[in-house]
Structure 1
Amino acid sequence: MALTGVLRPGHVALRVLEMEPALKHYRDVLGLIEVARDDKNRVFLKAWDEHDHHSVVLREADEAGMDYMGWKVDSPATLKKLAADVEQSGLATEMSWIPAGEHPATGERFRFTIPTGHVMELFAEKAIVGNNCGTDGQDINPDPWPDGLKGIAATRFDHCLLYGDDLDGSVKLFTEVLGFGIAEQVMLAGDKKFMIGAFLSCSNKAHDVAFIRQPVKGKFHHASFELRSWEQVLRAGDILSRTKTSIDIGPTRHGITRGETIYFFDPSGNRNEVFSGGYIYYPDKPVITWYDESLGPAIFYHDRKLNEAFLSVFT
């Protein structure tokens, strides 16, 4: 069966305190490619192996964090249907249609706020600009990668981890309305029905978005960018050290998702991750359950203990 409905994460919009240091980080260290600027002083970027016009939006503001996360769906008809489903669910607030062109090269978007306080968008259309590997930049006789890559050279925007209070409501919306599956969950050992964290997939990835229950609304833990191997994660660690980028933890491995990882901060304090590995997820795969007493190896499998900053620092 073909992948339908919500296809994948499409973009993340981040607030940064100063644009030029942020651009130096996202372009020169992380290796994203600037594709556009608009009259709202936003900068639009993409990872090299993404074909859509952009996946990261930066906006200068007085406070760091995430403005919204966008999800690409398979067609305009699906966009209309899912928007109606979200409206009828009673689980979303502050719903609105954003006209085509408000993001460059992007069709209309349906925006809504989920129970954890995060703003989400659905969209169906964004210009395909390619990855510049093939003849004349097209997907014809392509090379494995293009010339001119910088820094870590992340291949794509992969997922976000978000903090919020009404975890149950957001999980219900994503699973029952938007069609996501729960790949992994973290439960309270003393109350095995009380969910602490959920790792949700709309694809064959171990997760496309994750939520952790915290007594806050709409907080951003990290945006993750994909690499192709553990070796590339180690190389990323070298680049982060050479550029004196603030590292949170890693390189290491997650127990949850099995992915290899390193966490670090942009100059505004937004946490980034580069991530590789993980398993293939199918909808019939049994849900993996962790309990809070095993959170150490669940999050950092090698150290088997929690980094307090990982839990308490967010924007």
Structure 2
Amino acid sequence: MDQEPILDVAHLGHLELLTPKPEESLRFFVDVMGMTESGRQGDSVYLRAWDDYERYSLQLTASTTSGLGHAAFRARSPQALQRRVKAIEATGLGLGWHEGELGHGPAYRFHDPDGHVVEIYYETEWYQAPEALRPSLKNQAQRFPARGINVRRLDHFNCLAVDVKANREFFESALGFRLTEQIVLDSGEEAGMWLTATNKSYDFAYTKEAHGIKGRFHHITYALDSREEILRAADIFLEAGIPIETGPHKHAVQQTFFLYVFEPGGHRVEVANAGARLVLAPDWKPIRWTEEERKKGQAWGLKTIPTFHSHGTPPLPGHHGPDDDVQLDLSTNGIAS
């Protein structure tokens, strides 16, 4: 008999991004992305998209370099949290309980096999909009900001991993995530995975790190309602002087309509309508993309630019950003296209 699915993770909660340019990064997320500041603590500023139900979905922390501080998932119940903690501890990757964070209760932190820091929590603070931000409709978390791009909610993130398969197996067995799509090279090596805990087609992805360096981060994604809003976002980024990396266009994997830019701290940021595609089948059969299929490029033929497989955060030793990384030859990594 097949094992009963593990449904203990409710959704992606928030990300902490480290930034060497905290004020510039803050202005990008508030003025250009249209997010709202919802608190400060220590070296961190907490930000929310207008329809996030929790107090925040992004923690910006001042640092000497860029990179992922941690990713966080909310459990479905206190009992679900304890079950997942027990399973994580059995893997030997647990770091222990973390308390005192703004906006949520105790969180259990752990490493994935690649060294990224992840946490899982249950107790959380639902956002209470002040009078000036209170919406007319009571089923909406906050008044529409009408500022910049007006991102609606946190959608997903993508990490880079030296061993994609090891990370996939860890998240499947210890946390119960389901694989929806993957890239498998001719050699049999897994070069990309897209996992979900919900009916969304994916909550996060891991793709192959081309330089053999563990713990690097690829991008964070916020959702907009339509393709038209993403096209308008391209104009807003242009006028704001924000470097556009690639898009607007449509991915072949997951069919996400995408636009990627670089924020001042060095992170790649995506706006997308990713959540528009749902996976409702409880017995979903993962889609496997071959090396030859991925070399065809994106859905409508756009070739993937070299920085997409070379640039991550923190920067490579001796490098400072995407303009440096683009010089690297990644034509043999199997997923460049």
TM-score (normalizing by structure 2): 0.85
2:287 equivalent in structure 1: 288
2:306 matches 1:308: yes
The aligned amino acid for 2:285 is: P
2:52 equivalent in structure 1: 50
What is the alpha-carbon distance in structure 1 between the residues aligned to residue 253 and residue 63 of structure 2?
33
1:25 aligns with one of 25, 28, 37: 28
Q: CA deviation at 1:172?
A: 0.8
What is the alpha-carbon distance in structure 2 between the residues aligned to residue 268 and residue 294 of structure 1?
34
1:206 aligns with one of 196, 201, 206: 201
1:163 aligns with one of 153, 160, 164: 160
3-state SS of paired residue (1:107): coil
What is the alpha-carbon distance in structure 2 between the residues aligned to residue 155 and residue 31 of structure 1?
9
- 1:31-57 per-residue CA deviation (whole Å, 9 max, x = no partner) reads 11100001x121001110011011100
Contact 2:195 2:203 in 1 (8 A): yes
2:177 equivalent in structure 1: 180
Change in 2 beyond 3 A, CA 1:168/1:48: same
Q: CA deviation at 1:301?
A: 2.0
- 1:147-172 per-residue CA deviation (whole Å, 9 max, x = no partner) reads 43311111111111111112222111
What is the alpha-carbon distance in structure 1 between the residues aligned to residue 159 and residue 15 of structure 2?
12
The aligned amino acid for 1:284 is: D
1:239 equivalent in structure 2: 236
Contact 1:17 1:60 in 2 (8 A): yes
Contact 2:7 2:176 in 1 (8 A): no
What is the alpha-carbon distance in structure 2 between the residues aligned to residue 131 and residue 249 of structure 1?
35
Contact 1:184 1:288 in 2 (8 A): yes
Identity %: 28
2:13 matches 1:15: no
Structure with greater proportional strand content: 1
2:258 aligns with one of 254, 261, 271: 261
What is the alpha-carbon distance in structure 2 between the residues aligned to residue 175 and residue 112 of structure 1?
15
What is the alpha-carbon distance in structure 1 between the residues aligned to residue 19 and residue 54 of structure 2?
23
Contact 2:105 2:123 in 1 (8 A): yes
Flag structure 1 segments of 5+ consecutive residues without an equivalent. none
What is the alpha-carbon distance in structure 2 between the residues aligned to residue 237 and residue 160 of structure 1?
20
Contact 1:247 1:264 in 2 (8 A): yes
TM-score (normalizing by structure 1): 0.90
Contact 1:117 1:217 in 2 (8 A): yes
Query: What is the Cα-based RMSD across aligned positions, in Å?
Result: 2.3
- 1:222-263 per-residue CA deviation (whole Å, 9 max, x = no partner) reads 000111111111111111011010111010000001110000
3-state SS of paired residue (2:189): strand
What is the alpha-carbon distance in structure 2 between the residues aligned to residue 303 and residue 145 of structure 1?
39
What is the alpha-carbon distance in structure 1 between the residues aligned to residue 43 and residue 24 of structure 2?
15
What is the alpha-carbon distance in structure 2 between the residues aligned to residue 221 and residue 203 of structure 1?
22
What is the alpha-carbon distance in structure 1 between the residues aligned to residue 190 and residue 249 of structure 2?
25
Contact 1:130 1:138 in 2 (8 A): no
Contact 2:51 2:140 in 1 (8 A): no
Flag structure 2 segments of 5+ consecutive residues without an equivalent. 314-337
2:329 equivalent in structure 1: none
Q: CA deviation at 1:131?
A: 6.7
Runs of 4 or more, structure 1, over 4 Å off, are 130-133, 135-139, 142-145
- 1:171-225 per-residue CA deviation (whole Å, 9 max, x = no partner) reads 111111211111100001x23x421110111111111110112222110000001
Change in 2 beyond 3 A, CA 1:238/1:173: same
2:225 equivalent in structure 1: 228
1:111 equivalent in structure 2: 109
Alignment: residue pair count: 305
Contact 1:201 1:208 in 2 (8 A): yes
